[in-house]
Amino acid sequence: MVKLGRSILLYEKDPDKTPLNVSSETSWKAEPPQPKIDARYFDFVPMAEARLNAGGGNVVMTEQYGEYYAFRKDWLRKVATGPGNIVLMTVEGESMTPTISDGDTVMIDMGRTRIKSGSIYALGIEDTIIIKRLEYLVSGSIRIISDNRQEYSPYEANPKNIRIIGEVIWCAKQFIKTE
């Protein structure tokens, strides 16, 4: 049991005591502190406005960048060919599930354009950009593979008709659907 003194109950003021302010207000009036990002430790990676299609393809309307996101320089040095070679893109479609889902964000290293069989790449075919797993075939063709093989069959393409944008080196999963 807490025992309250008469001065607290009667709200008497004592110059030696800190006043207790009681309110039914539930919202915060103070602004949250803004984090300071030390540019010595971070590189800023652009988010491309175009989207990668995990399906039939997305027409490339622009190659402009929107927002920039901070990533630790020491981590980027380990995974990327250089800070100027990386870009973030949002994925649309379900052909790469369960590995990469609709709404996920991927980091593409545009300095990695040499195909390693089994790796995932952003690539352009004619005026569309897609995200797929690639394999070199003995015939010289490239097999384009969706991870969702129940709904999307692999197909072959001539390397001359493909423009490798870069290898996918990182993915941020989104666990909820947004409108």
Helix segments in the chain, DSSP class H: 6-9, 73-79
Look at the block and give the residue holding tokens 């005026």. Answer: 127
Residue 156 included in any domain: yes
Residue 130 included in any domain: yes
Residue 31 identity: E
Per-residue pLDDT tens over the stretch 65-74: 789 999 999 9
* Bridge partners for 142 per DSSP: 136, 157
Residue 111 included in any domain: yes
Q: Is there a contact between 118 and 78 (Cβ–Cβ < 8 Å)?
A: no
Residue 148 included in any domain: yes
Three-class secondary structure of residue 74 per DSSP: helix
In this structure, the number of other CB atoms found within 10 A of the CB of residue 174 comes to 14
pLDDT of residue 14: 53
Residue 3 included in any domain: no
Write out the residue range of the structural domain in which residue 134 sits. Answer: 39-172
pTM: 0.74
Read off the tokens for 107.
Answer: 């980091």
CATH number assigned to the domain comprising residue 57 = 2.10.109.10
Residue 144 included in any domain: yes
Q: How far apart are alpha carbons 75 and 13 in whole angstroms? A: 57
pLDDT at 88 over 60: yes
Q: Is there a contact between 120 and 131 (Cβ–Cβ < 8 Å)?
A: yes
Per-residue pLDDT tens over the stretch 23-48: 555 555 566 677 777 889 999 999 99
Residue 147 included in any domain: yes
Count up the domains in the chain and report the number. Answer: 1
Residue 54 included in any domain: yes
